[in-house]
Every structure is written in C-alpha cells, then in structure tokens.
Structure 1
Amino acid sequence: MGTFDHQEYERRERMISSIDTRPNDRRPNYEGRIEYVNESSVDALLARLKELKALRESGETRNPI
C-alpha cells in the first residue's frame, strides 16, 4: 500500500475540506404549480408526483401540467 505519513494525511484533509462554491453549482430555482383535486386518490397523487420527479431528473423542460 505504501507509506501514509502525516504530510499525506494533511494533504488529503485539505483536499476534502475545500468547498467549491462557483455560481453554477448552486441549486436551481424551480417554478410551477401543482393542482390538488379532492376526487383524486392517494395512489393517483403519488403516481403524479413520481411522474413530476422523473421529468425533473431527466432534465425535460416542458410544462408537465
């Protein structure tokens, strides 16, 4: 495995301690609306939520509503 000395420990500690806060790493703001209809069942609402999450994860930009 090789030697692992104090300098290597400090080097790795510095490496994992630094945080990159460039503007493109910030969380995007999501805009939209969700309509709740009383006749909808819980299963239908959960299915819709899964659909919206899948759209967001795929990066699709069309309006899902």
Structure 2
Amino acid sequence: QQNKLARVGYVTHIDDAVLQIDWATNSEYIRASTAGYHALVFHAPIGEEVKNHEEIEKIVWDSWTR
C-alpha cells in the first residue's frame, strides 16, 4: 500500500498565484511568495496569517523553493 497524504488545513485568502512555498523546520509555519509580489507567512495547519515581524524573523526555514 502506498503512503497517502492527508489534508490537514487550508489557506484560503491568497489573492494571487503562489510561486514559491516553504515549511519552517519545526513544521509550524508555511511561507508563500505570490505573483503579486507578496511574501506571506501562515501558521500551519490553521492557515492564519502571521503579521508579527518579530515572530517571522525568528522562524528557521527548511529551504526556499525556486
């Protein structure tokens, strides 16, 4: 039997196409870069946007997709 992924949450309020996405090393955050030149950070899996710059600066990202 193959491993299957299960959806655990949604981010529904990104207005533009997502060009890049990354996970924090602790899997608590998702970072997305959009076609509208926005860099957005969300709590995973609840999808709530993080707007606190001090909190964002402390996040360690796994990698940045290109």
**TM-score of the two chains, using structure 1 as the length reference:** 0.24
Q: Using CA pairs below 8 Å that are at least 6 residues apart, which structure has the higher relative contact order? A: 2
Greater per-residue helix proportion:
1
Point out the structure with max Rg over C-alpha. 1
Greater per-residue strand proportion:
2
